């Protein structure tokens, strides 16, 4: 779809095209209330051709309703599903705007030779799994699991903000796009998606996918981040699909990967979903244990600093400049300065009168400054103020607040709260706290039943305290060392 920018879509002003795909285009949009308030959004426009498809529109609406219930730091938020007549129905989604790059661009920079520490790669996958765990375990108002499956976890759908946030995108459209549906003309199944990141059951055309399919796709991303190669690759799509269905990933590329991480990848890429990771929390827990064993610590601020280097920011800037160039409606011609006839020197000439005025004001200024200096000097001689007696200053040592670290891991994903901190956490987590005693409270739900643990721990200065909670025992227990 092509349109001249800026373009007004109801209350939103579309200013820049950010991305374009086979189904939709994504634009940077601005919502403005006169000069009092403005906010940027990302708007995905569905092409009129697909909006008229009777099988796509209901799925889009259903999935938009589901994703609008997802409120998590690692998931791109959807604010509105809209439709306008132009002249046919034009559907669009109003989403959170994430300024940064997607994981596919990140991997391209990595393959081009940009050195990225392994800890950051693990952190990115860990954040993806946090978002998936939240989505997979989401329930409706009556407590029934929504059984959300993304179905298109791939580098293109993972966004990395320049603030270091990792966010999963395309929940709603991806599911509608990856459905196996029968058309009225061919009566055959159509498989859509990114073949290199599909699970074997998805590649085989199974209509009964569960959350373990997303975990397989995450494992394929982790493989590519660590090795720089795709887990499943081939000369064409058919060859890639065959390898995915048979689970034949490139095991030779894992030779340079640490044994613990190699084991994690192999478990996530198991062809049989029954022996794969059962939950995203279980997957992320193994990653967290590896990070703790190697004393690796990464924060979103650290990832943001990594993404703020010119190698990454230039990719975003180049995209913006290219879009502005492509969408410009006015041809701008630079002035021809090659010939002297195009340059006027009349205004450069200074008259003698102007020079005389400058000399006069300079003379007056110097005389005035001299008189003022003499007056102040003579006044200081006649009136000598009494010397000010200063009291001795007692130096006080700055009291530095000593801090330590607390890491909490649980056998099953759980909510967490530390003392009086207002922020609610999720296991596993790593947090820096002031040295001293802190109350750690964990809880989780199974249907209507609530299981909770509470323990007071002591964080020592410049040391890391590790705690492990077990909910699958009766009663649940938590220990620290």
Active-site residue numbers?
152
Taking CA 46 as the corner, what is the angle to CA 45 and CA 47, rounded to the nearest 5 degrees?
Answer: 115
- Are 169 and 159 in contact by the 8 Å Cβ rule? The answer is yes
Q: What is the 3-state secondary structure (H, E, C) of the chain?
A: CCCCCCEEECCEEEEEEEEECCCEEEEEEEEEECCCEEEEEEEEEECHHHHCCCCHHHHHHHHHHHHCCCCCCCECCEEEEEEEECCCEEEEEEEECCCEEEHHHHHHHHHCCCCCCHHHHHHHHHHHHHHHHHHHCCECCCCCECCCCCCCCCHHHEEEECCCCEEECCHHHHHHHCCCCECCCCCCECCCCCHHHCCHHHHCCCCCCCHHHHHHHHHHHHHHHHHCCCCCCCCCHHHHHHHHHHCCCCHHHHHHCCHHHHHHHHHHCCCCHHHCCCCHHHHHHHHHHHHHHCCCCCCHHHHHHHHCCHHHHHHHHHHHHHHHHHCCCCCCCCCCCCCHHHCCCHHHCCCHHHHHHHHHHHHHHHHHHHHHHHHHHHHHHHCCCCCCCCCCCCCCCCCCCCEEEEEEEECCCCEEEECCCCCCEECCEEEEEECEEEEEEEEEEECCEEEEEEEEEEECCCCEEEEEEECCCCCCEEEEC
Q: Which residues sit opposite 438 in a β-bridge?
A: 457
Whose CA is closest to 288, among 411, 444, 433?
Answer: 411
- Are 211 and 136 in contact by the 8 Å Cβ rule? The answer is yes
Give the CB-side neighbour count of residue 215, counting CA atoms within 13 A.
28
Per-residue exposure over 295-308, b if at least 16 CB sit within 10 Å of its own CB, e if not: ebebeeeebbebbe
Task: Supply 114's token pair.
Answer: 């940009």
- Are 114 and 58 in contact by the 8 Å Cβ rule? The answer is no
Taking CA 63 as the corner, what is the angle to CA 60 and CA 67, rounded to the nearest 5 degrees?
Answer: 135
Instruction: In whole angstroms, give the CA distance from residue 109 to residue 473.
Output: 46
């Amino acid at each position: 779809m092509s349109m001249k920018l800026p373009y007004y879509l109801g209350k939103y002003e579309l200013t820049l095209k950010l991305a374009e795909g086979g189904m939709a285009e994504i634009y940077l949009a601005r919502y403005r209330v006169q000069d009092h308030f403005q906010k940027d959004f990302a708007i995905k426009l569905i092409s009129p051709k697909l909006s008229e498809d009777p099988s796509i529109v209901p799925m889009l609406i259903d999935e938009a309703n589901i994703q609008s219930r997802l409120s998590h730091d690692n998931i791109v938020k959807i604010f509105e599903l809209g439709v306008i007549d132009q002249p046919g129905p034009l559907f669009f989604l109003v989403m959170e705007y994430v300024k940064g790059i997607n994981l596919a661009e990140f991997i391209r920079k990595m393959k081009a030779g940009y050195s990225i520490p392994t800890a950051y790669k693990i952190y990115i996958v860990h954040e993806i799994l946090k978002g998936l765990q939240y989505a997979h375990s989401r329930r409706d108002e009556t407590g029934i699991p929504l059984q959300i499956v993304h179905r298109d976890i791939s580098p293109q759908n993972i966004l990395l903000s320049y603030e270091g946030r990792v966010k999963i995108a395309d929940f709603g459209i991806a599911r509608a796009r990856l459905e196996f549906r029968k058309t009225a003309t061919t009566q055959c199944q159509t498989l859509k998606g990114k073949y290199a990141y599909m699970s074997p059951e998805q590649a085989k055309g199974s209509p009964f996918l569960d959350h373990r399919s997303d975990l397989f796709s995450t494992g394929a991303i982790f493989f590519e981040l660590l090795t720089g190669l795709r887990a499943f690759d081939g000369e064409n799509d058919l060859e890639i699909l065959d390898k995915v269905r048979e689970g034949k990933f490139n095991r030779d590329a894992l030779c340079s990967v640490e044994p613990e991480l190699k084991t994690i990848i192999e478990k996530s890429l198991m062809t049989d979903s029954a022996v794969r990771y059962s939950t995203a929390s279980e997957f992320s827990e193994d990653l967290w244990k590896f990070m703790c064993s190697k004393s690796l610590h990464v924060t979103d601020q650290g990832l943001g600093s990594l993404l703020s280097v010119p190698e990454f920011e230039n990719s975003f800037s180049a995209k913006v400049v290219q879009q502005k160039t492509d969408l410009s409606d006015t041809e701008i011609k630079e002035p021809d300065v090659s010939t002297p006839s195009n340059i006027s020197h009349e205004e450069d000439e200074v008259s003698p009168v102007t020079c005389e005025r400058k000399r006069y004001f300079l003379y007056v200024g110097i005389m005035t400054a001299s008189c003022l200096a003499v007056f102040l000097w003579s006044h200081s001689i006649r009136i000598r103020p009494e010397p000010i007696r200063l009291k001795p200053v007692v130096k006080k040592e700055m009291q530095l607040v000593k801090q330590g670290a607390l890491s909490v891991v649980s056998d099953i994903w759980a909510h967490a709260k530390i003392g009086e901190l207002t922020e609610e956490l999720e296991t596993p987590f790593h947090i820096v706290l002031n040295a001293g005693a802190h109350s750690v409270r964990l809880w989780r739900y199974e249907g209507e039943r609530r299981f909770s643990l509470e323990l007071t721990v002591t964080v020592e200065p410049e040391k890391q305290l590790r705690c492990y909670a077990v909910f699958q025992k009766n009663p649940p227990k938590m220990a620290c060392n």
